[in-house]
Chain A
């Protein structure tokens, strides 16, 4: 349900543009985890992510694939999904910012969730928290799959 806290053992997927990721050094731009609300998006509550375990009863890779199909984003072959554990996100940011990971579905994208707790205008604390969260990326998945593997 909207606003439900996602449990610590679950995972979320963050869409990462190719410019935000250095796959060789596994570096993810901290800007990927800074909340930048659009002025007209009144129901934007945090950094957009997809809840992987929303697709319960599927193996993890299938869950990622179901997210690919339902995320509603125009995916480029060079983009990635960064996978993060919710408990690690909370623990990493806690010394500087009280962030949470909550279910935030909208029509057509039921798995949509958000990392909340960031100020609308990023300050030094927000940048530090974002850097700490960027360190929690456990896996990088391709945003698209070659046709043969679909």
Chain B
């Protein structure tokens, strides 16, 4: 069962605590103070969503299980940090539920594919499976991607966006990621963004996806 609580201390701090996240709202008096605080927090935590009051009175920080890409912009101006935290917690709960469902769907699909691989005589790569799982653990998508198994035994996953974008990634035994990226569908097919290749490391691939505006397709 998921739970969440928010308590206000006598010094104006708000402490936020949930099963999957924790955070705090802190009173700040100047924009410089807020900037320093944000900088310090940004260095120490991943996936931070920050919001602050209209007069920079409160700065609230959560370390959420939802990736930053889904919550862009990372900064949010809120009138009431308590209300914002409650609404944010609702989003988190929905996202966690969808992420868990997507994860269960991935497990089920991989079981199906393992059986199909045995039937077709395709050698299953446990390295590729672990690489895909690791990738999904990091991005925690809320929809499961399409997953297929080419004859190489290295799993391939495809994510689609609302405007026809498609990102296909192949998780190779070597630790490399083969990719084909197709941008949003355009009236002129030649103008549609497209790119294919092999990324030596996941960080390189992520940077590429971010640079061409397709990271959100994978993390959605």
Binding site for B on A (CB under 8 A): 17-22, 24-31, 76, 78, 91-92, 94-96, 124-125, 127-128, 131-132, 135
Interface string of B139-152 (1 = CB under 8 A from A): 00000111111110
Query: Is the CB–CB distance between A95 and B192 below 8 Å?
Result: yes
Known contacts A17-B120, A95-B192; A25 and B182 CB within 8 A of each other: no
Closest to B105 in A: A24
Residues of chain B from 80 to 138 with CB closer than 8 A to chain A in the complex:
109, 113, 116-117, 119-120, 122
**In the complex, A49 Cα to B189 Cα: how many Å?**
24
B190 close to A (CB within 8 Å): yes
A29 touches B148 (CB 8 A): yes
Query: CB of B24 within 8 A of chain A?
Result: no
A95 touches B190 (CB 8 A): yes
Given contacts A27-B146, A30-B180, A124-B197, list 8 more A-B pairs with CB under 8 A.
Answer: A19-B120, A27-B147, A27-B148, A31-B150, A78-B119, A92-B189, A95-B194, A128-B194
Of the candidates B113, B151, B156, B196, which one forms a contact with A125 in the assembled complex, judged by CB atoms under 8 Å apart?
Answer: B196
- The answer on a CB contact under 8 Å between B189 and A24 is no
B180 touches A19 (CB 8 A): no
Report yes or no: B119 in contact with A76, Cβ–Cβ below 8 A: yes
Residues of the A chain whose Cβ atoms lie less than 8 Å from the Cβ of B149: 19-20, 29
| Distance from A108 Cβ to chain B, minimum over Cβ atoms (Å) | 24
A92 to B146, CA, bound (A): 21
The 19 sampled A-B contact pairs (Cβ below 8 Å) are A17-B120, A18-B116, A18-B119, A19-B117, A19-B122, A22-B147, A24-B109, A27-B145, A27-B158, A29-B149, A31-B151, A78-B116, A92-B189, A95-B189, A95-B190, A96-B194, A128-B180, A128-B182, A135-B182
A128 touches B189 (CB 8 A): no
Q: How far is the CB of A26 from chain B (nearest CB, A)?
A: 7
Interface hub of A19, A78, A96, A128 (most chain B Cβ within 10 A): A19
Nearest residue, chain A, Cβ from B179: A127
Question: Does B166 lie at the interface of the complex (its beta carbon under 8 Å from any beta carbon of A)?
Answer: yes
A128 partner residues in chain B, CB cutoff 8 A: 180, 182, 194-196
Are B146 and A19 in contact, with the CB atoms below 8 A? no
- Contact between B116 and A131, CB atoms less than 8 A apart: no
Does A25 contact B194, Cβ atoms closer than 8 Å? no
Q: Which residues of A contact B144 (CB under 8 A)?
A: 25
A-facing mask of B172-192, CB < 8 A → 1, else 0? 000000101010000001101
A91 touches B113 (CB 8 A): no
Contacts known (A18-B120, A96-B194); A131 close to B168, Cβ less than 8 A: yes
Residues of B with C-beta under 8 A to A125: 196
Q: Give the distance in Å from the alpha carbon of A31 to the alpha carbon of B178 in the complex.
A: 12
Q: Report, nearest first, the 4 A-B pairs whose CB atoms are least far apart.
A: A27-B146, A25-B146, A124-B196, A19-B149
CA distance A131 to B157 in the complex (A): 12
Residues in B whose Cβ lies below 8 Å from that of A127: 178, 180, 196
Contacts known (A22-B147, A25-B144); A30 close to B189, Cβ less than 8 A: no
A103 vs B151: C-alpha distance in the bound complex, in angstroms? 27
CB distance from B1 to the nearest CB of A (A): 29
**A13 to B122 alpha-carbon distance, docked (Å):** 23
B residues less than 8 Å from A94 (CB atoms): 189-190
A124 to B181, CA, bound (A): 11
